[in-house]
């Protein structure tokens, strides 16, 4: 796992000392991603650089940029290809001589020789840049589901790229908000999927499953992977014919293989254990293959309604591994916000990001450099049942709702909007709001929904089709900010995190499952619960999902003061009125996520647009000064 950066002169001018200094500065901004090594090299018009967090082959042979034996191609690479040894053997048998035991070298040789075909054979998470001097071509590539980040910008005749946006900003002529995307952010708090745009003007992401080709001064973006292409009607039919035990066995085997594969490492491995279903299953299966694991848990001490510590302790005991618990306190939560806002590059989407950062720091202090987590399970196996059930119910209700008299529909809409404080007296507001929502993202989500439902066109039941399509949409749109959170917070502590539920073979099987295995009369997430029953008692498996909540309204209350925002970013740079700020903050007790969104937007703008230091921002907003070296309140449990 690493951080990568680079510059390509689009006019073909050879890269020199100026480019080397710029790339070195970009790497310095991402030093947390790679404390073990750092390198910069030029090759023709390209200058590539990387900071390295050594996971495989800890020797200097893993240094990057890494070149081919003939010196004609170079790669900088971030991630892990877990089946690299299998691919390495194939190339070695055909005569390729390898100089290291890294997956980086395998990716370099495989992609240069086989292109997209090689990508389809790689199982892992990755983002890399490869420059081929013989062909004068730069390629930027991102993994199937966007686990690893990669951003780029075109500026003054150069293409710049980096793992994190903060590395790009000082190298650009200007930094500003992408105001065309601001409305979408307010509505969805998510610009991480569906398109290359970001909340920064002029900075784009390489979307998940895409590659960016730069040759002859031209830039082209193309998809190399689309999950919809792997929705298999025949496999769905086979699952429908199979017995429940056979289906559970198939998914269980794929998950177990994925977890075992993601234990490959030359440094210690641990697990993030919330105590919920997904992380518990990962912990229990991983412990079967590696007894030296340690589990890490964040406890919301003093709040029994939010605290899953008792459940995590029981799971760790069942797995026979130690549990290290971090007790997250409100002061630590508030103090951590500026640093995490700096790490994430974009406004923090999830309030528990601070908890992820703190527990990753605890893992690092315990000598654990690699973690596994349960991300992706909810999206694939029906974890957001409220969403899927809502879709089905609305589909069933739609014909009846359409029959309601116009006056009754208007009355119901009026009451609903009025209860939420929406401006019901505005001219035709009730008609205009649905259209405004549909247009806020330029129609991206509606387009994605139609594509997903078309891919499941072989399903006769509209309700099942909506549930299955929703699962694919969640795999992109809903999952993307969760993966950003996981990457930035763990890499911010110089720790790699792996997601076994996102193995492509497991994902493709899950996309073919009948909806009843995800959201059904028996139970939501039924299949994973059946798997968990092999290892845990029923009361742990069938308990209500908690989803890592925080007492957010209470913890934000000291920050919900309008004077903290006076003359700040949202008022001065974005033009938000004092009245609007006051209204959002006044609703903190009942709608804390509105206040959290306002606060994180203010943090983001001050740090990344205005370029203020974290200490100054913390002082302005009434947060405790950030303390990167502060010891965590962590306790180890046998």
| pLDDT for 431 | 75
Across 393-406, average pLDDT: 80
Q: Which of 65, 113, 82, 18 is nearest to 372 (CA)?
A: 82
Half-sphere exposure of 610 (CA within 13 A, CB side): 19
| pLDDT for 60 | 92
Look at 495 and 418; give whichever has higher pLDDT.
Answer: 495
Query: With bands split at pLDDT 50, 70 and 90, how would you rate the model's confidence at 636?
Result: low
Q: DSSP code of 96?
A: P
What tokens does 180 get? 């065309």
Spatial separation of the C-alpha atoms in residues 195 and 193, rounded to whole Å: 6
For the cut 70, the answer to whether the pLDDT of residue 521 exceeds it is no
Query: With bands split at pLDDT 50, 70 and 90, how would you rate the model's confidence at 522?
Result: low
Residue carrying structure tokens 């549930």 = 467
Q: What is the pLDDT of residues 81-116, one digit of tens each?
A: 999 999 999 999 988 889 999 999 999 999 988 988
Across 584-597, average pLDDT: 95
| pLDDT for 611 | 95
Q: Which of 286, 332, 309 is nearest to 635 (CA)?
A: 309
Whether the CB-CB separation of 157 and 174 falls below 8 Å is answered with no
Spatial separation of the C-alpha atoms in residues 259 and 280, rounded to whole Å: 12
User: Hey, what CATH topology would domain 229-376+477-541 get?
Assistant: Rossmann fold (3.40.50)
| pLDDT for 631 | 35
Residue carrying structure tokens 């690092």 = 364
| pLDDT for 398 | 79
Spatial separation of the C-alpha atoms in residues 303 and 288, rounded to whole Å: 32
Q: Which of 52, 64, 204, 63 is nearest to 129 (CA)?
A: 64
Residue carrying structure tokens 């990344």 = 608
| DSSP annotation string for 204-257 | EE--TTEEEEEETTEEEEEES--GGGG--HHHHHHHHHS-HHHHHHHHHHHHHH
Query: With bands split at pLDDT 50, 70 and 90, how would you rate the model's confidence at 180?
Result: very high
For the cut 90, the answer to whether the pLDDT of residue 544 exceeds it is no
For the cut 90, the answer to whether the pLDDT of residue 257 exceeds it is yes
Give the gyration radius of the chain's Cα atoms.
Answer: 25
* Reduced 3-state DSSP string for 357-391: HHHHHHHHHCCCCEEECCCCHHHHHCCCHHHHHHH
Spatial separation of the C-alpha atoms in residues 114 and 314, rounded to whole Å: 48
Across 428-433, average pLDDT: 73
Q: What is the mean pLDDT of the chain?
A: 92
CA 54 to chain centre: 22
Strands 323-327 and 73-81: unpaired
Whether the CB-CB separation of 80 and 147 falls below 8 Å is answered with no
Look at 359 and 625; give whichever has higher pLDDT.
Answer: 359
Query: With bands split at pLDDT 50, 70 and 90, how would you rate the model's confidence at 630?
Result: very low
For the cut 60, the answer to whether the pLDDT of residue 596 exceeds it is yes
Backbone angles phi, psi at 519, to 5 degrees: -130, 105
Residue 463's alpha-carbon distances to 391, 438, 475, in angstroms, are 7, 22, 19
Spatial separation of the C-alpha atoms in residues 41 and 14, rounded to whole Å: 12
What is residue 524's three-state secondary structure? strand
Spatial separation of the C-alpha atoms in residues 52 and 59, rounded to whole Å: 11
The b-or-e profile of 442-460 (16+ CB within 10 A means b, else e) is bebbeebbeebbebbeebe
Q: What is the pLDDT of residues 446-464, one digit of tens each?
A: 999 999 999 999 999 888 8
Cis peptide before 339 (omega within 30 of 0): no
State if pTM tops 0.85. yes
For the cut 90, the answer to whether the pLDDT of residue 432 exceeds it is no
For the cut 90, the answer to whether the pLDDT of residue 376 exceeds it is yes
User: Hey, what CATH topology would domain 2-225 get?
Assistant: 3.60.20
Look at 168 and 437; give whichever has higher pLDDT.
Answer: 168
Spatial separation of the C-alpha atoms in residues 558 and 569, rounded to whole Å: 19
Spatial separation of the C-alpha atoms in residues 434 and 412, rounded to whole Å: 15
For the cut 90, the answer to whether the pLDDT of residue 437 exceeds it is no
For the cut 60, the answer to whether the pLDDT of residue 632 exceeds it is no
What is residue 334's three-state secondary structure? helix
Residue carrying structure tokens 């925080």 = 550
Across 430-451, average pLDDT: 88
Query: With bands split at pLDDT 50, 70 and 90, how would you rate the model's confidence at 12?
Result: very high
Could you tell me where the DSSP H helices lie in 403-491?
Answer: 406-419, 429-440, 444-455, 462-473, 479-491
| pLDDT for 638 | 42
| pLDDT for 131 | 97
Look at 207 and 470; give whichever has higher pLDDT.
Answer: 207
Residue 443's alpha-carbon distances to 194, 223, 227, 310, 437, in angstroms, are 10, 19, 20, 44, 9
What is residue 469's three-state secondary structure? helix
Domain boundaries in the chain?
Answer: 2-225, 229-376+477-541, 385-471, 552-620
The b-or-e profile of 185-206 (16+ CB within 10 A means b, else e) is beebbbbbbbbebbbbbebbbb
Q: DSSP code of 63?
A: -
Whether the CB-CB separation of 518 and 524 falls below 8 Å is answered with yes
What is residue 347's three-state secondary structure? coil
Q: DSSP code of 630?
A: P
What percent of the chain has pLDDT above 70?
95
Look at 423 and 135; give whichever has higher pLDDT.
Answer: 135
Whether the CB-CB separation of 327 and 301 falls below 8 Å is answered with yes
What tokens does 448 get? 């994605």
Strands 137-142 and 210-215: antiparallel
Of the ranges 222-231, 462-471, 615-624, which is most confident?
222-231
Spatial separation of the C-alpha atoms in residues 384 and 442, rounded to whole Å: 25
Cis peptide before 65 (omega within 30 of 0): yes
Spatial separation of the C-alpha atoms in residues 606 and 617, rounded to whole Å: 7
| pLDDT for 547 | 80
Whether the CB-CB separation of 394 and 521 falls below 8 Å is answered with no
Across 343-369, average pLDDT: 97
Q: How far apart are the first and last CA of the chain?
A: 30
Q: DSSP code of 6?
A: E
Spatial separation of the C-alpha atoms in residues 389 and 466, rounded to whole Å: 10
For the cut 60, the answer to whether the pLDDT of residue 291 exceeds it is yes
């Amino acid at each position: 796992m690493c951080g990568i950066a680079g510059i390509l002169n689009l006019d073909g001018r050879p890269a020199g000392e100026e480019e080397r200094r710029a790339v070195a500065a970009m790497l310095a901004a991402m030093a947390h991603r790679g404390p073990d090594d750092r390198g910069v090299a030029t090759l023709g018009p390209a200058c590539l650089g990387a900071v390295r967090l050594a996971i495989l082959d800890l020797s200097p042979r893993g240094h990057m940029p890494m070149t081919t034996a003939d010196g004609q191609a170079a790669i900088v690479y971030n991630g892990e290809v877990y089946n690299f040894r299998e691919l390495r053997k194939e190339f070695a048998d055909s005569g390729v001589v390898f100089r290291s035991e890294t997956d980086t070298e395998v990716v370099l040789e495989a992609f240069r020789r086989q292109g997209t075909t090689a990508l389809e054979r790689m199982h892992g998470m990755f983002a890399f840049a490869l420059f081929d001097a013989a062909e004068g071509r730069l390629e930027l590539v991102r993994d199937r589901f966007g686990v690893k980040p990669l951003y780029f910008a075109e500026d003054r005749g150069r293409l710049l790229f980096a793992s994190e946006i903060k590395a790009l900003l000082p190298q650009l002529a200007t930094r500003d908000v992408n105001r065309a995307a601001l409305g979408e952010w307010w509505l969805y708090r998510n610009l991480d999927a569906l398109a290359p745009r970001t909340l920064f003007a002029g900075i784009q992401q390489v979307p998940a499953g895409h590659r960016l080709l730069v040759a002859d001064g031209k830039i082209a973006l193309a998809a190399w992977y689309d999950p919809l292409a792997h929705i298999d009607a025949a496999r769905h039919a086979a699952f429908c014919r199979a017995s429940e035990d056979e289906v559970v066995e198939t998914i269980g085997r794929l998950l177990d293989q994925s977890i075992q594969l993601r234990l490959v490492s030359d440094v210690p491995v641990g697990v993030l254990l919330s105590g919920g279903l997904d992380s518990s299953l990962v912990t229990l299966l991983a412990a079967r293959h590696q007894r030296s694991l340690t589990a890490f848990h964040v406890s919301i001490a003093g709040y029994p309604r939010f605290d899953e510590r008792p459940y995590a302790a029981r799971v760790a005991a069942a797995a026979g591994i130690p549990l290290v618990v971090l007790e997250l306190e409100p002061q630590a939560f508030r103090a951590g916000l500026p640093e995490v806002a700096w790490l994430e590059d974009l406004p923090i989407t999830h309030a528990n990001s601070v908890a992820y950062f703190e527990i990753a720091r605890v893992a690092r202090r315990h000598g654990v450099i690699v973690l596994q987590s349960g991300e992706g399970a909810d999206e694939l196996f029906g974890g957001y049942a409220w969403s899927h059930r809502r879709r089905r119910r609305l589909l069933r209700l739609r014909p009846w709702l359409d029959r309601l008299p116009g006056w009754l529909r208007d009355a119901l809409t009026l009451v609903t909007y009025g209860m939420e404080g929406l401006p019901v007296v505005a001219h035709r507001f009730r008609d205009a709001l649905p259209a405004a929502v549909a247009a806020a993202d330029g129609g991206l989500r509606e387009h994605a929904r139609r594509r997903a439902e078309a891919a499941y066109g072989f399903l006769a039941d509209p309700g099942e089709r909506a549930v299955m399509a929703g699962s694919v949409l969640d795999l992109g749109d809903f999952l993307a900010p969760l993966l950003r959170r996981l990457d930035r917070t763990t890499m911010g502590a110089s720790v790699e995190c792996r997601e076994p539920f996102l193995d492509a073979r497991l994902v493709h099987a899950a996309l073919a499952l009948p909806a009843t295995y995800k959201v059904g009369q028996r139970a939501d997430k039924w299949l994973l619960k059946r798997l968990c029953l092999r290892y845990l008692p029923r009361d742990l498996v069938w308990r209500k999902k908690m989803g890592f909540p925080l007492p957010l309204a209470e913890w934000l209350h000291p920050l919900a003061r309008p004077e903290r925002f006076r003359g700040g970013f949202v008022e001065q740079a974005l033009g938000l009125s004092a009245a609007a700020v006051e209204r959002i903050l006044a609703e903190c007790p009942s709608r804390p996520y509105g206040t959290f969104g306002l606060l994180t937007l203010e943090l983001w703008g001050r740090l990344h647009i205005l370029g203020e230091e974290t200490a100054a921002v913390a002082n302005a907003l009434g947060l405790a000064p950030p303390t990167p070296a502060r010891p965590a309140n962590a306790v180890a449990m046998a």
